[in-house]
Amino acid sequence: MTPAVHADTEETRYGSFMDWKLFVRFLSYAKPYRGWIVTALALLPVSALVQIAQPMLIKRAVDNHLTTGNMEGFSVLLSAFILLVGVQFFIGYLQSISNTVLGQRVVRDIRKHLFSHLMTLDAGYFNHHASGRLTNRITNDTEAVSQMVSSGLVSLVGDFLLLLGIGISMAWLAPSLSLVTLLAMPVIVAGTVMITRKLRTIQRRGRLLQAQMAGKMTEEVEGARILRLFRLQDNRRQRFNKVNQEHFDTVLASNYLEAMQFSFIDAASTITMALLFWYGAGLVESSEVTIGTIVAFVDYIRRIFFPIRDLSGKFTTMQAAMTALERIFNLLDTPPAIRDQPSNQPLPTFRGEIQFLDCDFGYGDGLVLKNIHLTIAPGEKVAIVGPTGSGKTSLVKLINRIHEPLRGEVKIDGLPVSHYPLRTLRRMVGMVQQETLLFAGTIAQNISLNDSAITLEKIHAAAVESGAIGFIERLERGMDTVLSERGGNLSAGERQLLGITRMFAFNPAILVMDEATSSVDTISERIIRTALKRLMEQRTALIIAHRLSTVQNVDRILVLVKGCIVEAGTHDQLLKYNGVYAQLYQLQFQGEGGD
Ligand SMILES: Nc1ncnc2c1ncn2[C@@H]1O[C@H](COP(=O)(O)OP(=O)(O)O)[C@@H](O)[C@H]1O
Ligand SMILES: [Mg+2]
């Protein structure tokens, strides 16, 4: 499950620069912005024409005025030329705006789509996919697509139009002269592309090495003490130096190639010019072409070399975008493994009966829960105890379909959990976990989760029931106190109390408490325990507890070991049974001095 990390964070494989299937699908995102696309495309021929016309004016100026000395009408020509240059700048400006707007809008929509899709995926998916990589989809990959729109695709078409236009103009002005010039083109294009390709490969390698160095650096700094302890510094130093040296070589090679690229293009254009003058001189002598034509050709050749130089860069942009699109669409095509059945009917109320029918469950290879068979009656209070890692949390996550069993079925009130809409299910199974998840917003919002059905009165009543009202009213702004992200400005106990208040407000039929008091101090624990006790009344409750003393009074205690329920019964029954529970209890009893 761990393909080379760099394959994802860095640029990836070299794909084709145009994949029509991906592209057509991409266009569906661009469709709402037809207007901008038409604008961007319509500007291309105008821009090309404006550029092609300039050397034509120069030719006229040379042939009709400069070489003859007849200045009549020259100022008109000059004005026209200045006008063209002005128009060229203005169009360039418009193009840059329309391309950027188009790219950013499309990318905004793709991001929106990606994000809401991610929200529908189940917990299992995030289990198997590194979050960094998913974040990459939303940030870097969409950025690559935006690059394609704003600087790849449109300008590639524009370059093509320009080159075509210049070719036609040259052929129209002087066919034989243009033939000589164009002869050199294939060599120049091939050379440029070759150098640039090599350059990109080396630059990519350089970035990779740089990332590796940064990674090693962090590793070393973080692990510095341990390294000293084990006297591994020399070994590490050698490894770091090796990467550092390779990085140095790569950067040097890349600079060398870059210099070569510019010299090559310089040399190529100079040689082409020389060819032009050498052959052109003969044609001028025999009056086949004018001096103005030669001057115009010089200008054309100059204009040809810019697009050629940028060509391979644009192809790379396109390739990166195609790879990004492929990954984005792959993610979008991942269906949520846990989905609502179309036939789901919301139930008015749950009675709160839970059944596990021969359930097996695991996250990857190996089972975390084995053959769980269990019925919990409505209103029953059941504790689950067992060593860390025995599967307690996993077990309760099957109830609200955070995960699904690999084998067997979980039922609530006689119906498989998959028959309930997820929304209904997750509201009817309330969870109080070790840490309550709070978000940036007011206390009231954090209790009601912005559900309009939970009125302010309800929120207040819930806070009274949970006992949270005490600390809330001591705050200057009370219910309107704004919490920082994750509730950083509250104590752990206060955060838990808010989580419990939430439960009072939503009133779930089934309550699951997963080590709800294990991360709070003793004083808060007493308050929280009182609140939880009141919360449990009138509902089915599952209590996962570390401290056995907290669960002595429940109806039934299940002992989970390595994913199997090994013992079940009341506290007294289990003590009498003198098995795992009795042992654990003795151990804790001694450790805590009775508690
Ligand atoms: N998201 C997960 N992905 C992979 N393995 C997990 C995940 N959550 C728990 N496990 C593994 O499943 C086993 C049971 O974990 P858990 O249900 O959290 O136990 P408990 O709550 O009893 O401590 C452990 O071996 C744990 O490492
Ligand atoms: Mg747990």
**Residue nearest atom 18 in ligand 1 by C-alpha distance:** 393
Q: 231 forms bridges with which residues in the sheet?
A: none
**What is the dotted CATH code of the domain comprising 20-174+317-335?**
1.20.1560.10
Q: What distance in angstroms lies between residue 338's CA and the mean position of ligand 2's atoms?
A: 22
Measured CA to CA, the distance from residue 194 to residue 348 in angstroms comes to: 69
* Helix (H), strand (E) at residue 242: helix 233-285
Residue for token pair 């950027």: 100
Burial 173-201 (b: 16+ CB within 10 A, else e): bbeebbebbeebbeebeebbeebbeebbe
Distance between CA atoms of residues 519 and 533, nearest Å: 18
The predicted structure's pLDDT at residue 65: 86
**Cα 436 to middle of ligand 2, angstroms:** 14
The topology (CATH level 3) of 354-592 is Rossmann fold (3.40.50)
Report the pLDDT value the prediction gives residue 544, as an integer from 0 to 100.
93
pLDDT given for residue 226 in this prediction: 64
Provide the sign of the torsion angle of the four alpha carbons 31, 34, 40, 45, taken in this order.
Answer: positive
Q: Which of 125, 368, 399, 565 to mutate to test the pocket of ligand 1 (most atoms within 8 A of CB)?
A: 368
Domain limits of the chain? 20-174+317-335, 175-288, 354-592
Distance CA 90, CA 84 (A): 10
Cα of 369 from ligand 1 centre, angstroms: 10
The runs of H, that is alpha helices, within 138-232 are 142-147, 154-173, 175-183, 185-230
User: Ligand 2 centroid to 178 CA: how many Å?
Assistant: 78
The token pair that represents 450 in the structure block: 């912005």
3-state secondary structure of 355: strand
Query: 552-587: buried (b, 16+ CB within 10 Å) or exposed (e) per residue?
Result: eebebbbbbeebebebbbebeebeeeeebbbebbee
Please tell me the residue having the least CA distance from ligand 1 atom 25. Answer: 389
CA distances in angstroms from 34 to 29, 144, 153, 318, listed in the order given? 10, 21, 15, 21
Ligand nearest to the CA of 385: 1
The whole-number pLDDT of residue 249 equals 92
For ligand 1, residues with CB inside 6 Å are 127, 363, 368, 386, 388-394
Q: For position 449, what pLDDT does the model report?
A: 85
Using CA positions, which residue lies closest to atom 10 of ligand 1?
363
Q: What is the DSSP string of 382-424?
A: EEEE--TTSSHHHHHHTTTTSS--SEEEEEETTEEGGGS-HHH
Residue 389, phi-psi category: left (phi > 0), alpha (psi -120 to 50), beta (remainder): left
Query: How much is the pTM?
Result: 0.60
* Distance between Cα 389 and ligand 1 center (Å): 5
Ligand nearest to the CA of 390: 1
Mutate to test the pocket of ligand 1, among 125, 363, 370, 404 (most ligand atoms within 8 A of CB): 363
- Which residue, by CA, sits nearest to atom 27 of ligand 1? 389
| Number of the ligand 1 atom closest to the C-alpha atom of 514 | 21
Ligand 2 geometric centre to CA of 465 (Å) = 27
- Cα–ligand 2 centroid distance for 489 (angstroms): 26
Looking at residue 195, what DSSP letter applies? Answer: H
Identify the pLDDT of residue 499.
92
Render each residue's pLDDT in the chain as its tens digit; 595 residues.
333 333 333 344 445 777 888 889 998 998 899 888 888 889 999 999 999 999 999 999 998 888 888 888 888 999 999 999 999 999 999 988 888 888 889 889 998 888 888 877 777 677 666 666 677 777 778 888 888 887 777 888 888 899 899 999 999 998 888 888 878 778 877 887 788 788 878 887 887 887 777 777 766 676 666 666 666 677 778 888 888 899 899 989 988 988 888 788 888 888 888 888 888 888 888 888 889 999 999 899 888 877 877 776 787 788 888 888 988 898 888 877 776 655 555 545 788 999 999 999 999 888 999 999 999 999 999 999 998 899 999 999 999 898 999 999 999 999 999 888 888 888 889 999 888 888 878 899 889 888 888 899 999 999 999 999 999 999 888 988 888 776 777 888 889 899 999 999 999 999 999 988 877 777 778 888 889 889 998 899 999 988 887 888 899 999 999 999 999 999 999 999 999 999 988 888 776 544 4
Residue 595 pLDDT = 44
Three-state secondary structure call for residue 74: helix
